[in-house]
Amino acid sequence: MYTVHGKGSKIMKIAVASTGSSINSEVDPHTGRARCFVIYDTGKEDFVVYDNWRVKECQHWAGSRAADILESLGVDAIILRNIGPCAFRRLSGTSIGLYQAPLGSRVVEAIRGFREHELSLVEAPNCTGHNHLLRETL
C-alpha cells in the first residue's frame, strides 16, 4: 500500500502520465504517448498501472485515444506535463480535471501536490503536438 497524505477527503481516481510502472517513476512529458498511466485510488490508497503500449505506437490521434481510455477507466483527474490540442479538446467535454505536474516531478510527488491543492489546472493545450521536448526546455 502506498499512502499519499493530503487534505482532500473525496475519494477519487487520479491518473498520472508516467515514464514507468512505479509510483516513483517520473511524470511523462507526453500524455498521449506516455509509457503508462499510474492510476491512484485515494479511497484505497493504492494504485494500478495501465500500460499504454497500444496507444503509444499509434501514428496519429494518440492523445485522443489515451483520453478515451482514461475516461473509460473512470478517472476523475489527470496529472500531466503536456497536452496537445486534440486530447485537450476531447477531455474538455468531460468532468475530468487536468492538472500540471512540475517539471521533473515523480508520480508520488505529483499526487501529493494534487492532494495538497498545489497543482495548477491546465486550461488550454500547452504543446502543439510533436514538439513537447522543445517546450520542456524553454
Q: Output the average pLDDT for the chain.
A: 82
Q: Mind listing the pLDDT tens digit of every residue in the chain (138 residues)?
A: 344 444 445 789 999 999 999 999 999 998 877 889 999 999 999 999 998 766 555 555 566 677 888 888 999 999 999 988 888 988 888 999 999 999 999 999 999 999 999 999 999 998 876 544 444 433
Query: d(Cα 110, Cα 78) in Å, to the nearest integer?
Result: 10
CATH fold for the domain made of 13-137? Nucleotidyltransferase; domain 5 (3.30.420)
Instruction: Say what the pTM is.
Output: 0.82
pLDDT at res. 20: 93
Encode pLDDT of 62-101 as tens digits: 666 778 888 889 999 999 999 888 889 888 889 999 999 9
Q: Where do the domains of the chain lie?
A: 13-137
